[in-house]
Structure 1
Amino acid sequence: MKKLESKAQFDQAKQENSVFLFSANWCPDCRFLDPFMPEIEKTFNEFDFYYIDRDEHLEIAQEMNIFGIPSFVAYRENEETGRYVGKERKTPEQVTAFLETV
């Protein structure tokens, strides 16, 4: 998973097939994702996955109306194709089911 470094990188990544994970280091429900996300990334390799630290990129989170973390937003060619937003802990099955719809 690539770590988002700038708004410009975010704008560029939206032009492609990308999944953004809004997260934070201090968030236990976000850290719950760490063990299984590499396998999910391999399964859904048509997407580039980006980690967006919500605290470092608060303006992007606000622009995207992301207030609960962990949250996922998927894009294909600059069009949002789905979001899985909320502050609850997400299981591998839930993340997979979401990605199968985008």
Structure 2
Amino acid sequence: MKKLESLEQFEQLKQEEKVIFLFTADCRVIEPFLPTLETEFAEYEFVTIDRDEFIDLCSQLDIFGIPSFVAFSKGTETGRFVSKNRKTKEEIEEFINSLT
């Protein structure tokens, strides 16, 4: 999974056809099944964003719960799964399947 390195990279990546940003802070709970999600949803590019490194971006996007997911397509937000609650693999799959 690609890791965000800069705000400029974020702006470029969100212009792609299908990208999902995973906002995290060393989330060990979902880490074991992330490779499966990447394989299962290969049409999406997954990018991790460390909350502590990009706190201003998190604030700008109203990301207050970790882990959180925000999807973009061609610069437009297409969905978000943002909450403070722990997320299961099934919940994340349901979110991705709901994206247009």
Which bracket does the TM-score occupy, shorter chain normalised?
over 0.9
Output the amino acid matched with 2:96: L
Q: Separation in 1 of the partners of 2:88 and 2:65?
A: 16
Matched-pair identity in %: 51
Q: Deviations over 1:6-64 (max 9, x none)?
A: 00000001001110000002xxxx21000111101111111110100000001110110
Aligned to 1:13: 13
1:1-102 equivalent positions in 2, closer than 5 A: 1-16=1-16, 17-25=18-26, 30-102=27-99
Q: Separation in 2 of the partners of 1:84 and 1:33?
A: 14
Output the amino acid matched with 1:86: S
Question: What root-mean-square deviation, in Å, do the aligned CA atoms of Structure 1 and Structure 2 show?
Answer: 0.7
TM normalised by structure 2 equals: 0.95
Output the amino acid matched with 1:18: V
Structure 1 unaligned segments of length 5 or more: list them: none
Say how many residue pairs are matched.
Answer: 98
Q: Separation in 1 of the partners of 2:91 and 2:13?
A: 24
Q: Separation in 1 of the partners of 2:60 and 2:15?
A: 17
Q: Separation in 1 of the partners of 2:72 and 2:41?
A: 13
Q: Separation in 2 of the partners of 1:101 and 1:77?
A: 17
- 4+ runs deviating over 6 angstroms: none
